[in-house]
Amino acid sequence: MAKKKLKDLSSGQKKGLGALTGVQFLLAGAALRDLKKRPKDQIRGSRGWWMAACGINFAGPIAYFLFGRRSA
- Residue 53, classified by CB atoms within 10 Å of its CB into exposed (0-12), middle (13-18) or buried (19+), is buried
Q: What is the pLDDT along the chain (72 residues), one digit of tens a residue?
A: 788 898 999 999 999 999 999 999 999 999 999 999 999 999 999 999 999 999 998 999 999 999 999 876
Listed by start position, the domains of the chain span 32-72
